[in-house]
Structure 1
Amino acid sequence: MKKIIIFLSLFVFLSFLIMATSNRSSSSPLNDYAGQFTSDQKEILEEKLRSFKYKTDIPIKLITTSENDGKSTEELLNDNYDAFLSNKRFKGNGILILFDRDAQIHMIKAEGIIESIVTEEEILASNNYAFNAGLLFSGSVGTIEFLTKKATAYFEANPQLRPSPGLQDTDYLWALVLTVIVAGWGMGGSSLYSPAYQKNNTVSNDFGTYTLINKQEISD
């Protein structure tokens, strides 16, 4: 019976580990495929994107593309948006900002609760001048700050409408901890301090015979 418990516990442990890793990788808020940002700029943008998600519970992603394989910017936007919101925990709420390097066009797609806060046209217009001037980083920062200001003000006035955050990284961590505890129980506790181990765990040397009892070595 204990072997079954241990096996099931390890299976659950590995399952949660895979899910946590998958969610962490898929939740990266910035994919700069076109190499438009410096390392410092990426760090700033990722911080602002994560801050927006933390304050609003609305997923947001910024993607730059290149090598479009003949697809239009709108097709790229829709393809990336579908992939972005494929995770069920997002529940159809999300914002995708996409910059097509080949066409030099930026587009935004927003669905869910954000549509009650601000329109796609308003988002585009908020920093259109910066994008048109080729200032992709400034335009991206300005857009994220605009969205953050709008959304936080909306949820402060309507807290009951804030989306559910769904499963977070901490939820996976607690699940893993619980699994380890159950596995330990299934093993009957640590064998190192079990009575059977203590009874037979004796070591002899030139100074005498030693037995491990209550985590202490006591000479016979």
Structure 2
Amino acid sequence: MTAPLSEALRDATATAHSEAERSAFVTDLVEGRACAAAFTALATQHLLIYRALEDVLHTHYAGHPLLAPVADRRLDRVPALRHDLEVLVGPDHEVRLADGRLPICVATSAYATTLRDRHTPEMVLANHYVRYLGDLSGGQIVARLVHRHYGVPTDGLTFYSFAGIDKPKVYKDGYRARLDQIPLTAVQREAVLEAAVQSFAANEAVFADLAAARTPLHSAAGVGG
């Protein structure tokens, strides 16, 4: 008997998920060995990634049968990220992003470009699952640790708060149930699983770039630490 898609995704991505969580950048950030500017650098990468994902989702797949069951504007992170960067960097954060004063990692550019230029419904569904379920699962813990370790203001951590979703666990259970009801062929299902693993790999590459470029990227982010 074929496992539900949510279980298959969990099993297929278990190793990649663990590797991403154990990356040097993430462990340093949550264990207090980084700085406030490290978090700002991460938020900057997130803005490009989520902007690409949400632009593609809402432009091309809003009513698509593979995406409609899980697409929910309450999950959108771009408005929160823009707000956070305004708090952390200033009202000119978009200008600084455009002119390179807020640096973008090579891996981030590659990830965003893949989402924009090579998207398929299966890829978008996989990234939707990986990103939003991850944010709903561990976001509040990350926000608390970043606030505690580096004094990042709570008003600059709204990326990790989902307005209108009062009970994340209940929402996640419902999300998985809707995911399991999406009609997929065997080929589509395999494509979703493969794209989910690739999504974790892309995320891990972003973390690796942030760790490797820590000093220049975090200094340029302008929060200090």
Fold match by TM threshold 0.5: no
Structure 1 length-normalised TM: 0.24
Which structure: greater strand fraction? 1
Which structure: greater helix fraction? 2
The structure with the larger Rg is 1
Structure 2 length-normalised TM: 0.24
